[in-house]
Amino acid sequence: MVLTTGVTEVWVQGSLGPFPGRATAPRGTSGLMMPVEEARDELKHLLDRCEQWLGTVAEVSEILPESATADLESDVERIQAMSTRALSAMLNVALLGRQSSGKSFLISGLQGHLEYVPIIDEDGEQSDEYLGLLPSSASPNTACPSTIVPVGDDPKVDATGRGLLQVKFKGIADWVEIGTNLHRAEVAAYVAADGNVTDRHPDHVNRQVERIELLLSRTRLPIKLFDLPGSESENETHDDILYEAWKEADCFIYVSQATEALTSHELSLIKDLYAHAEPGGKPVLWVLSGIDRAAQREHGQAAWKNVLTTNNQYLRDRHRGAGDFVNDGFLPVSAALEARAEHEEAHNGDGSVLRRRSRMGELRERLQALLESGAGYKHLKQVGEEAGWLVRRRRRSITDMLEAHRVTVDDLETQRDHLRDRLDGMDDSVVRMRAELNDELDRRIRIAQRPFGGLADELHRGLDEFIDSGNLSAEHAHDIDVRYVQLFNEWMTGPEGPGTLWEGEREALDQLARQILRSELEDEDAGSELVAPESLDPETIPAQTELGRPWRAYSMVQTAANTLGVASPLAGGAVWLTTSLSLATIALPVGAAVIAAIGIARITDVLKERESKIQQARQERKAMIDEQAKQARNGFEEMVRGQGRLLIDAAEEHHQRHRARLRSTLDEVVHRINADDTARSRAIVERLTPVDEAGHAVATRIQDLLDRNRSA
């Protein structure tokens, strides 16, 4: 999908597009696409119409079959939730960095919730205090992962002032609402390591907080911010939350303090970030925070400038050839300077110099550019597609019932017999389809796996000499892993790489599934067909749980991904998988296999025990390459097989939905045959026709909105 603002392309293949610049207008597009704010407003209007239409369905529920009215209130709630989503977070940003690097402080500043308070003590001395949304903690073991979520002016959520605090306790699945616009001490009691637990609700004093969520009505950017544990955290629960956030994130901000240059302690986190972000094409913003606290002069300039130079050189040295990952390096900012500027302006002073020195505006501009370069439209597209699917699903039963009641009485018995015959063959049909697709999946996986026979040799050619060139220090081991990511990604995405081959094989499997569905579901006697097969609606299939069945394939792929330590099993813009996955919307980023392979090569700990045996360690590191190649092959097979099974399950779900429609229509036909007259049918047609037409109009308008913001 490609959307444009002005004359520039802002969404290419579902990724966030180029960074930090913009792309050129896409070929094949006619006219200009909607600005993201205009698209959001129109979608909100259409969601209101969806909710109104569901109300009209409720008004005729007594004449509708159960399949048309089941969980109607739940659908209304889903549409209302979509309205909130459409108005709120349109970009998911994960903040990473060392403990106490200033992530929470920066978040407060980004969203305009950092207040500067000058304090005068009894001796007349002034000290500076800054009040933000969240307290920060210096303890890596107890710092709490937090999420800041904009909710706009949603009337159903009171998130005014400092926002609505929600907490998830250990051992309790649901979020617990704490309160709105709480005193900072009460927030600290739930979040901070040094918070006073007696400031909590009495029932919560002895509970362990695993994570918090703060909903905000007033924000400067429509972005969802994940304040993640510091890199030194040893809490396994926090690690799980961190990777879950990586999975959801559209981009990352890596935060480092201006008072201290990057050190080897951060190598592991940056390496894992690289292994995830680079293959998946997720942008990284590097932020040097707190430059106001490093303003003293050193070597002829402000100290933070020396740290900036050191950090940027460190990144370039450690990630040679990874320009998209490093980009322009660290952006120096100070949320404190901006807060002081706002304090000056509130007291009729001039804060322009402080505001300019803070560079917070530049950071927001970069985030806004990412928002307008794809993520915002991606967000709206997902909401629009889900809403459109919901209306079409609900309308299907209404349309089928209308068609059944429009049939003349003379044709009813013929239609009854015809429907019974079709239903009798459905069980055999789905078994045949699944068996054929499973066999085809096995064959196509074998084809895509063939190049793995040469992976180890390819890695040895690219890595052996480099391994021998250093002493396998932490920095050298890091550089080896970075080069491994680059080599693996290039090999995977090459013309004959497994990723490229699988893209073609998956597309062929998708087309075969469609072909089988058409042949199994279409009626040879189209003139007598009451229930025509619906057009495939693949892009929202993972959200469906129709017929009371969980979408098991989605869970299966998630589980398979997590066993590999995958940061993002969802479609993330990997270059060798299209983002429009037809029957399957779950993609396999190259980063999945990369992270899994790197995970078995934690050489640093080995070296601590064998510092005097560098040559032996080098040989062991080379030997690990063979194991990495084997693990990459196994991980690749597990992931693509899960993706293929998702597609097969989607085809079966489609088949089962059609069967349910046939059964419902047969029940209506039999009911009409047994009725005394056709008066009821005439009344049903009169009442349902306008409801059906209104549903069609809403679904069409949503699709039109999506089509107007889609490339040709």
Partners of 120 in the beta sheet?
Answer: 126
pLDDT, one tens digit per residue, over 379-407 is: 788 788 888 888 988 888 888 888 877 77
300 compared with 560, residue with greater pLDDT? 300
520: nearest Cα among 435, 449, 440: 435
pLDDT, one tens digit per residue, over 238-286 is: 666 776 777 778 889 999 999 999 887 788 888 888 887 877 778 999 9
Question: For residue 200, what pLDDT band results from cuts at 50, 70 and 90?
Answer: very high
- Please check the confidence at residue 56 and state whether its pLDDT lies above 50: yes
Residue 306 has a pLDDT of 94
Separation between Cα atoms, residue 114 and residue 260, nearest integer Å: 23
Amino acid at 58: A
Separation between Cα atoms, residue 698 and residue 704, nearest integer Å: 10
Amino acid at 548: G
Residue 169 has a pLDDT of 92
pLDDT, one tens digit per residue, over 661-699 is: 888 888 888 887 777 666 677 788 888 889 999 999 998
- β-bridge pairing 330-332 and 284-289: parallel
Task: Taking residues 95-121, report their average pLDDT.
Answer: 90
Instruction: State what percent of residues in the chain have pLDDT above 70.
Output: 78
Task: Taking residues 166-187, report their average pLDDT.
Answer: 91
pLDDT, one tens digit per residue, over 445-462 is: 999 999 999 999 999 999
Task: Taking residues 123-139, report their average pLDDT.
Answer: 78
For residue 435, the number of C-alpha atoms closer than 13 Å in the C-beta half-sphere is 6
Question: How much helix, strand and coil, in percent to the nearest 5, is found in the chain?
Answer: 60, 10, 30
Token couple for 521: 């579901």
Residue 518 has a pLDDT of 85
Rg (CA), the chain: 29
68 compared with 209, residue with greater pLDDT? 209
- The CA–CA distances, whole Å, from 432 to 208, 319, 513, 516 equal 52, 51, 12, 9
Separation between Cα atoms, residue 344 and residue 163, nearest integer Å: 25
Phi, psi dihedrals of residue 164, rounded to the nearest 5° = -95, 120
- Please check the confidence at residue 88 and state whether its pLDDT lies above 50: yes
Q: What angle do CA 647, 649, 652 make, to 5 degrees?
A: 115
Q: What angle do CA 559, 656, 545 make, to 5 degrees?
A: 45
Q: Where on the phi/psi map is residue 676: left (φ > 0), alpha (ψ -120 to 50), or beta?
A: alpha
pLDDT, one tens digit per residue, over 578-596 is: 222 222 222 233 444 444 4
Q: Which of 24-28, 496-500, 633-637 has the lowest mean pLDDT?
A: 24-28
Mean pLDDT of all residues belonging to the chain: 77
213: nearest Cα among 298, 291, 133: 133
- β-bridge pairing 146-150 and 223-227: antiparallel
Q: Which of 3-12, 463-472, 688-697 has the lowest mean pLDDT?
A: 3-12
Separation between Cα atoms, residue 656 and residue 661, nearest integer Å: 9
- Please check the confidence at residue 224 and state whether its pLDDT lies above 80: yes
Q: Where on the phi/psi map is residue 370: left (φ > 0), alpha (ψ -120 to 50), or beta?
A: alpha
Amino acid at 290: G
Task: Name the H helices within 200-290.
Answer: 236-248, 267-280
Give 302-320 as a DSSP string: EHHHHHHHHHHHHHHHHTT
Give 426-465 as a DSSP string: HHHHHHHHHHHHHHHHHHHHHHHHGGGGGHHHHHHHHHHH
Q: What angle do CA 105, 108, 113 make, to 5 degrees?
A: 135
Residue 77 has a pLDDT of 85
pLDDT, one tens digit per residue, over 520-543 is: 887 655 445 667 666 554 444 444
Residue 710 has a pLDDT of 66
Tokens 């196509």 belong to residue: 444
Question: For residue 100, what pLDDT band results from cuts at 50, 70 and 90?
Answer: confident
334 compared with 615, residue with greater pLDDT? 334
pLDDT, one tens digit per residue, over 601-610 is: 444 444 445 4
Q: Are 342 and 116 in contact (CB under 8 A)?
A: yes
Partners of 463 in the beta sheet?
Answer: none
Query: Which residues in 99-109 are b (16+ Cβ under 10 Å) and which e?
Result: bbbbbbbbbbb
